[in-house]
Structure 1
Amino acid sequence: MTRTEKAVGNFGDYNCCQATISAFAEELDLDMKTALKISSGFGGGLSKAEVCGAVSGICMALGLKYGSADAGDLETKKEVKELVKTFMDKFIEKNGACTCKGLLGYDKSTEEGAKVVEEKELTQKLCPGFIEDAIKIAEDMI
């Protein structure tokens, strides 16, 4: 099973951030339970239709792969910031936005926006593609 298949398959049970981080967790030495728990609050653009959870999950994976726990390691901090910026630029280039409201066209954190997103089934129709795009971009980086 490819990372994309795993992530899109997990999206049926988990949010978009959980789906993307789950595709990389094992190879980044992050146990699945921890990956799913730590990413659980990032779905739906942090519940405010802000940064897409699929994007957040990849940013977490980039940090796990290339980050440092040493507060004084300024070079690594700079490198990770550049990797995240590159990833986000590529995602935005492909999709036109990196926020849920920008990607879906509605602010699903509002009652009115959530109603439209649900009626049009936008999460089911569009989010698997955003997850797939995030994974494919990240595969070249991780």
Structure 2
Amino acid sequence: MKIKINKKIISYILILVIGIGVGAGGMLMKDKFLPNTGQDTAESHESTKDEIGPLVELSEFTINLDGGGIVKTKVVLEGVDKKSSEEIEEKAAFLEDKVIAVMGSKDLEDMRTANREDLKKELVTELNKICDDQIQDVLFISFMYD
């Protein structure tokens, strides 16, 4: 009994094996010659999230809310590393202006406790546009709304 092997199937299998070998080899070579890629940076940034960065206190704010109401708050920014505190302090006036703009665009319902985490995330995103991703968290030291 002879088994007939199709040359076309063998060539497909051979191409698949070579492709897998080249892909695996490429990944190993990439790690050896290019160890610091964007993914590694993102992972290292996440690992620094567990560490407390330098804290920079901003002015106390009294902000008129959209649609009526006010919020009075004291904000502290957490930097990603020791160098970040210098940049945050240098740009404090711009950061304070952005805090007022973001919070002033919200209504009273947005200031409630349930929505505060979303507000903090939005503030981090907007403030990082000014400080080139040097802020890892926004902390509210005091927070009153009416």
TM-score (norm 2): 0.34
Q: Would you tell me which structure has more helix in proportion to its own residues? A: 1
Find the structure with the greater CA-based Rg: 2
TM-score by length of 1: 0.35
